[in-house]
Structures are given as C-alpha cells and as structure tokens.
Amino acid sequence: MTPPEYETLALERQGEHVLMATLNRPQVLNAINTRMGHDMLDLWTRLAAEPGELRCVVLTGAGERAFCAGGDLKERDGMTEAAWRSQHELFERAFVALMDLPLPVIAALNGHAYGGGLETALGCDFIYAARGARFALSEVRLGIMPGGCGTQNLARAVGERRAKELILTARAFSAEEGNAWGLFNRVCEPAALLTEALDTAGAIAANAPLSVRQAKKSIHYGLQMDLRTGYRFEIEAYNRLVDTEDRHEGVRAFNEKRKPVFRGK
C-alpha cells in the first residue's frame, strides 16, 4: 500500500511490515480539522482495502506537547449548524473506518489527548501513554458531548461508573490513573514511548498476519455478543485459517525447529 502524501499526516515505514502514522499539526497541538478528517478517513480506508505488506500501525502525534488536542475549535468558530453536521459526519466516518480496520493499530500517546484526540486513541486496539501527559473527554464543557464513540469505547474500557464520572465531570486524568483503570496498556517514559510501541508492533507483525486479523475481529465483535454466540463467531474465524498457507508453514516450521516465514496467504 502506497498512500498519497497527506497534508496533516506524516507516514513512515518501520521495516517491511509496520507503518508509523503521525498526526502532523504540531502548531495547533495536532487538533483535528476538516482536512485531517479527510486524510484519516482516506488512510484507514486505503489500509483496509490494500494493506500490501503492512501488518501493524503505530499512531502518534507530532511534537512533545500533545498527541491531539481534539477538534479544531478555531475552525469551528462561527460554523453554521449545517457545516458543523457535515464536518462531524466526516469525522464519524473516519472513526468507524479506524475501528473497522483489520490491521492492529497501537496508539502511542506522546502527550496530552483531549476530546476527539482521546476518542481517536480509544478507537485503536490498545494504548501506550507517556508519563506526564494528561487526558480528558471534556466536551460537556463546550455544550456538546463525546461524539467519536467516546461514550461507548471509554465505558467498555473502564466500566460504566468510571466512564460516567470522567465524561460528566470532564476532569483530566493522568497516564498512571488511566493505566490503573485498564484504559492504557502501558505507561512509558516519554523518550522510550515510540521505541516500546514499535517493538510491540514488530512482535505483532512477526506473527501470521491472517491469524492476527482474525483474532482481532473475533475479540472486537465477540464482545458485542453473548458468550455462546461469540464462541461460534470465534470458531468461524478460526476455521478460515485452517487451510491457509501460513497455517501449514507455521506447523511445518515448528516441527523443523525454525522461524516461520509468513506471507499472509
């Protein structure tokens, strides 16, 4: 997959199978404007349709201060209702495209993440956060509410009561608090954040890519079902792997005591 150059995103291949995508508006703390909405929707859609050799994505922000400050309120100042709704429809499509992406996405929160910035991270598969950064879903202070699946993803990560407290108070919390609540997978020293996230991405990319994608899908959609239905979904996903070349290669490599060479077939 060779995406075009984006105005608001910087893309960098990390080896053959990992892509690092960076929200690239550091002058405004990587706030999400309409152009970034178009760019993110295009990127996630392209990666879903034509991943090529890519097997994992790390999403981070440019600069040292913020991952993403949320929606660009300067752009929104004075917007008509019709323009606001049109822009938000674009954002909604980008959030859904991220959450539906078959490739795993690791959010590496290099700094503060507020509003739609935190919601973008919540749409990823899991999150590493830099020590010292602050986070909040602060929309109720602006007369709106989370609209990037924040009420859904936060509640699923930390539970209903904690999500209500955080969203209704709009209060900020630390990386350590988010980690203790199960929202973040790891708290990293700022200088080590990207190294740790990329190391994890590399470990994921070394595994059978079809297996990784099927397992991700089974976890994500299975949690929206009762246990028995989720299990049947899991078995359907499992059975799609039995006759793949990678399954044959994995078993053969195990018996030959060598590292498997997976090709995503």
* Amino acid, res. 26: P
How far is 223 from 246, CA to CA, in rounded Å? 27
Asked if residues 129 and 111 have their Cβ atoms less than 8 Å apart, the reply is no
* Amino acid, res. 259: K
Structural domain including 97 reads 9-205
119-162: per-residue pLDDT in tens? 999 999 999 999 999 999 999 999 999 999 999 999 999 999 99
Q: Are residues 100 and 38 in the same domain?
A: yes
38-62: per-residue pLDDT in tens? 999 999 999 999 999 999 999 999 9
Asked if residues 30 and 23 have their Cβ atoms less than 8 Å apart, the reply is yes
Establish if 83 belongs to a structural domain.
yes
* Amino acid, res. 154: L
Q: Are residues 241 and 199 in the same domain?
A: no
Establish if 34 belongs to a structural domain.
yes
pLDDT confidence band for 96 (50 / 70 / 90): very high
CATH number, domain of 137, equals 3.90.226.10
Q: Are residues 120 and 196 in the same domain?
A: yes
Establish if 264 belongs to a structural domain.
no
Q: Which DSSP state fits 223? A: T
Asked if residues 138 and 150 have their Cβ atoms less than 8 Å apart, the reply is no
Asked if residues 158 and 127 have their Cβ atoms less than 8 Å apart, the reply is no
Q: Are residues 177 and 242 in the same domain?
A: no
Q: Are residues 172 and 215 in the same domain?
A: no
Q: Are residues 250 and 190 in the same domain?
A: no
Residues marked active site are found at: 119, 139
- Radius of gyration over every alpha carbon of the chain, rounded to an integer in angstroms: 19
Establish if 3 belongs to a structural domain.
no
Total of domains in the chain: 2
pLDDT confidence band for 1 (50 / 70 / 90): low
Q: Which is nearest to 215 in space by CA: 251, 246, 185, 180? A: 246
DSSP helix/strand/coil, 71: strand
Q: Give the H/E segment covering residue 44.
A: helix 34-49
Task: State the pLDDT at residue 79.
Answer: 87
- Boundary residue ending a domain (185, 205, 225): 205
Is residue 3 over pLDDT 80? no
Q: Are residues 144 and 83 in the same domain?
A: yes
Q: Are residues 231 and 162 in the same domain?
A: no
Establish if 1 belongs to a structural domain.
no
